[in-house]
Structure 1
Amino acid sequence: MDAPTELGDFLRSRRARLQPEDAGLPAYGGRRRVPGLRREELAQLAGMSLTYYTRLEQGQSTNASEAVLDALARALQLSEDEHAHLRNLAHPARRPRRTAPRAEYARPGMQQLISAVEGVPALVVDRRSDVLAWNPLAHALLAGHLALDSPDRPSERPNLPQMLFLDPHTRELFTDWDEEARRTVASLRLVAGRFPDDRRLASLIGELSMKSSEFAALWSRHPVHNCLSGVKQFHHPIVGSMELSFEVMHVPDESGHRALMYSAEPGSPSEAALGLLAAEISNRRLSENTSSYDSERHTGLSL
């Protein structure tokens, strides 16, 4: 990703969403040639020259100070996540490029954690939202039509944004697909700002932009949000409607890995539905084990 271009696009998108009256400036009436604030209005609000701001927006200045970025964040009324994204775009952390990126795996401790929790769908994803590991309940909740062991094979790993925008099964899973799509793109934007040199991430964004007009439209709006918790509405093909809370826990290193866990309100119909899904998994495993045992026993008797 081209950081100067991304910075300019982000500044223009945030300038366009503010009207003069929103920033305490006189509107003067009449039609405006551009939506939102003009460059000179934003420069005035941020206390900088129009020439300097123009160079910054056009990607011709790459050494903006923290004071300048803070002033722009205040003038543009950025959220905390948007402010962090602005800093990442203005001062991208350059990392050495690898000619052949290595496959990533969940830490053993994280794999053990999600395997240990019962009745809770849990999974581990990397910065690109590739699924590195999931427990059987998370698999049954999110992607029962895929192989349970697919995260073990890097070339076949499910990717959550890909599934959301390109997989019809996943589209049908979310009751409010539009909200889930906005949340996904906003989170992906934030990650892209943190890891501008990640070629596989850039490739994912390019693929989604080419194959999904909905993704491309959302991406062009530059939404930015660090989605750490919330509520999602599901319509599961086996157990029906569920309302599940989710929590995201980031691994405290530079990998960008995070654990995602879902839960239902105690005593709610959603908790009962989640219990039914867990029971379905147990029954299926029992049936498979029984069939395997009968097959081995039959083979032994034949010998």
Structure 2
Amino acid sequence: MTGPASTPHGRVNRLTLGCVNTELREFLRSRRARVTPEEAGLPVFPGSRRVPGLRREEVAQLAGVSVDYYVRLERGKNVNVSESVLDALARALRLNETERAHLYTVAKPTRKSQALPPQRVRPGLRRAVDSMPDVPVMLLGRRTDVLATNALARALYKDFEAAPPHERNMIRFIFLDPAARELYDDWEGNARLAVASLHVYAGRHPHDPRLAALVGELSVRDNDFRRWWADNDVYRHAHGSKSLHHPVVGDITLAYESLTVDADPEMSLALHTVEPGSPSEQNLRLLASWALAEQPSDVAH
């Protein structure tokens, strides 16, 4: 396979593996650029720095490997890297837990492309999503595909289940639906975390053609996505909070929890809750009433 092409679509070739491990190459380069010599405890002399962050030889010194070995590794060459070396690199580059796990994943990628079976929503899981009418619930799959939602989640975000199949994706909604930029109080912060979360998936499934198509479309259509994707940040979207300004009921601050489905570890239930007795709880109840009034009586899943 060839390296990245010059077109926006060509850039997604970095997701695939050929003779060069491009995911490892770009991740190491991006992390090295973010560690200053001062943070690493190295001496700095005025006017001596021409690159941001650490030099390759400095990373090699901090990790206790030869410069040649590290250069080959950062160039994505087929190096059989040990766990002890990865641990040393993680320390040298000051990686957090998520970044360390991502380094291990991209340093030892799968060698063969395996077709990913379609994800199916079992009837019992569908009923579980619908059985919590007081909180917005979404069932997310690979690439943040939206597999199922309850009525309150559809009222909070959009009716994904009425959209064409290729549009049923959360990160696509964030970047390509104008309503999303009005909905999120901190759109940029949420968008950047979504991109970083997608990078974690890319590390696990570099051959996924649907991921390549999604990244290609977003790269072409949104400059912010293209720039943030190139940053190679990684983030596990497990829990947190978000503030929304809903066009119907106004401000809502939500806590969210992402719960993995045992039967398919690449499915997760995203549950949104509000502080009891808060204005957000009142507004969420108003939204639930509005959603019930708007929902056709003959809706069936």
Do they superpose with TM above 0.5?
Answer: yes
- Residue 5 of structure 2 is matched in structure 1 by none
Match of 1:199 among 183, 188, 209: 209
Whole-angstrom distance in 1 between the partners of 2:24 and 2:113? 21
Q: Which sits farther off after the overlay, 81-90 or 194-203?
A: 194-203
Q: Which has the larger radius of gyration?
A: 1
- Residue 106 of structure 2 is matched in structure 1 by 89
Structure 1: which 5+ residue stretches go unaligned?
293-303
Q: Is the 8 A contact 1:132 1:157 kept in 2?
A: no
- Residue 9 of structure 1 is matched in structure 2 by 26
Q: Does residue 1:104 correspond to 2:119, yes or no?
A: yes
Aligned to 1:256, what secondary structure does the other structure show?
strand
Q: Does residue 1:169 correspond to 2:182, yes or no?
A: no
Shift of 1:110: 2.4
Shift of 1:62: 3.2
Whole-angstrom distance in 2 between the partners of 1:147 and 1:15? 39
- Residue 153 of structure 2 is matched in structure 1 by 138
Shift of 1:163: 0.8
- Residue 222 of structure 2 is matched in structure 1 by 212
Letter in 2 for 1:86: L
Whole-angstrom distance in 2 between the partners of 1:253 and 1:59? 34
5 Å matches for 1:174-189? 174-189=184-199
5 Å matches for 1:66-85? 66-85=83-102
Change (3 A) 1:265 1:94: farther
Alignment length, in residue pairs?
A: 281
% identity of equivalent residues: 46
Shift of 1:147: 6.1
Q: Does residue 1:281 correspond to 2:264, yes or no?
A: no
Q: Which sits farther off after the overlay, 22-31 or 50-59?
A: 22-31
Shift of 1:182: 1.0
Whole-angstrom distance in 1 between the partners of 2:240 and 2:106? 27
Whole-angstrom distance in 2 between the partners of 1:95 and 1:198? 11
5 Å matches for 1:257-276? 257-276=267-286
Match of 1:33 among 46, 50, 57: 50
Q: Does residue 1:62 correspond to 2:84, yes or no?
A: no
In the superposition, the TM-score normalised over structure 2's length comes to: 0.88
Shift of 1:109: 3.2
Aligned to 1:238, what secondary structure does the other structure show?
coil
Structure 2: which 5+ residue stretches go unaligned?
1-14
Shift of 1:220: 0.9
Aligned to 1:117, what secondary structure does the other structure show?
coil
Match of 1:235 among 245, 267, 276: 245
Shift of 1:157: 4.8
Letter in 1 for 2:204: R
Q: Is the 8 A contact 1:47 1:71 kept in 2?
A: yes
RMSD across aligned positions (CA): 1.8
Whole-angstrom distance in 2 between the partners of 1:41 and 1:96? 35
Whole-angstrom distance in 2 between the partners of 1:54 and 1:14? 14
Aligned to 2:266, what secondary structure does the other structure show?
coil
Change (3 A) 1:52 1:128: same
Letter in 2 for 1:245: A
- Residue 262 of structure 2 is matched in structure 1 by 252
Aligned to 2:207, what secondary structure does the other structure show?
coil
- Residue 24 of structure 1 is matched in structure 2 by 41
- Residue 118 of structure 1 is matched in structure 2 by 133
Shift of 1:93: 2.8
Shift of 1:255: 5.1
Whole-angstrom distance in 1 between the partners of 2:102 and 2:263? 19
Whole-angstrom distance in 1 between the partners of 2:266 and 2:160? 25
Whole-angstrom distance in 1 between the partners of 2:28 and 2:263? 29
Whole-angstrom distance in 2 between the partners of 1:22 and 1:156? 44
In the superposition, the TM-score normalised over structure 1's length comes to: 0.88
Shift of 1:47: 0.3
- Residue 301 of structure 1 is matched in structure 2 by none
Shift of 1:125: 1.1
Q: Is the 8 A contact 1:122 1:260 kept in 2?
A: yes
Bigger proportion of residues as helix:
1
Whole-angstrom distance in 2 between the partners of 1:147 and 1:191? 21
